[in-house]
């Protein structure tokens, strides 16, 4: 997968996306991420990228020219017929979730545009953006952290990026529920015991306990997730019992 990030602050990505799984994916050439500085595409000698909003009001707006020219530069490097998804990270967008991450992980090319100040001139959005996507409802300083979040979630789903064991987990356990509690050694930590079922060696009991714990925490904390989750008949039985 090829990812191009159009931003005024390329340095903001250097920490988060050069670690662990995403770093390995880039080293293994399964993922190529490049950061392109929008400021280098301004056609004025002061390298100005923002201006006052028409109609008045507070703050500044990123001008259309460097964004569209930067996009054009990136798009020109693609092969003919390649249709990149162009994602503008924006609080007005569709809310990003695992389903959208899975959909985007099947694309060959993704282009992210990160806004700053009050946002970007609407004409740049209208001309080049295919998807407006938000990571959630809070005020942020820029679209860079949202882009990094989305890239992390998408990149780990590219076939081959996760190891054998990790992707098996992904496939068989991602059903839209929260996770059961995890424990590791020692079995008694300063008097705090691990639930005995996990030490029993009875894998049927363990699976059933974990499933029940998953359903319980999801029902308690995020009942909205249960509506979209893939539930078996047994899960529905367990839920009926948990609700009582
Ligand atoms: N944010 C809200 C309402 C009005 C403005 C904002 C806001 C960064 C360029 C956008 C924020 C949140 C999730 C991008 C927020 C996201 C952004 C995101 C973002 C500077 C203009 C701005 C009602 C959501 C609280 C600033 C709500 N996902 N404006 O944050 O880019 O991608």
Ligand 1 contacts (CB < 6 A) are 89-91, 115-116, 118-119, 134-140, 142-143, 146
For the chain, residues with pLDDT lower than 70 are: 168-173
Helix (H) / strand (E) containing 132? strand 131-134
Residue 26 confidence (pLDDT): 97
Q: What is the full DSSP assignment across 26-62?
A: HHTTS-EEEEEEGGGG-SSTT---EEPPTT--SS-EE
Cα three-residue angle 241-183-218, rounded to 5 degrees: 35
Residue 149 confidence (pLDDT): 98
How many Å lie between the centroid of ligand 1 and the Cα of residue 199? 47
How many Å lie between the centroid of ligand 1 and the Cα of residue 150? 15
- What are the structural domains, with CATH classification, of the chain? 2-155 (3.40.1280.10), 170-243 (1.10.1270.20)
How many Å lie between the centroid of ligand 1 and the Cα of residue 186? 44
**Phi and psi, residue 189, nearest 5°:** -105, 105
**Phi and psi, residue 28, nearest 5°:** -80, 5
Residue 10 confidence (pLDDT): 98
Residue 156 confidence (pLDDT): 96
Cβ atoms of residues 34 and 10 within 8 Å:
no
Predicted model pTM: 0.96
Residue 169 confidence (pLDDT): 65
């Amino acid at each position: 997968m090829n990812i191009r990030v159009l931003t005024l602050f390329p340095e903001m990505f250097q920490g988060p996306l050069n670690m662990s799984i995403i770093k390995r994916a880039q080293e293994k050439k399964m993922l190529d991420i490049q950061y392109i500085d929008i400021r280098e595409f301004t056609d004025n000698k002061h390298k100005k990228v923002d201006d006052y909003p028409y109609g008045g009001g507070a703050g500044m707006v990123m001008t259309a020219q460097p964004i569209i020219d930067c996009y054009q530069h990136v798009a020109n490097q693609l092969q003919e017929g390649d249709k990149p998804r162009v994602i503008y990270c924006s609080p007005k967008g569709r809310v990003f979730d695992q389903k959208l991450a899975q959909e985007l992980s099947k694309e060959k090319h993704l282009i992210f545009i990160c806004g700053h100040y009050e946002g970007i001139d609407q004409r740049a959005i209208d001309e080049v953006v295919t998807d407006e996507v938000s990571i959630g409802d809070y005020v942020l300083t820029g679209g860079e952290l949202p882009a990094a979040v989305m890239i992390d979630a998408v990149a780990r789903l590219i076939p081959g990026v996760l190891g054998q064991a990790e992707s098996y987990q992904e496939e068989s356990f991602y059903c839209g529920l929260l996770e059961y509690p995890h424990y590791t050694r020692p079995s008694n930590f300063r008097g705090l015991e691990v639930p005995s079922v996990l030490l029993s060696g009875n894998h049927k009991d363990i699976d059933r306990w974990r499933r029940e714990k998953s359903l319980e925490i999801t029902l308690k904390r995020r009942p909205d997730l249960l509506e979209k989750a893939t539930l078996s008949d047994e899960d529905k039985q367990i839920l009926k019992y948990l609700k009582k």
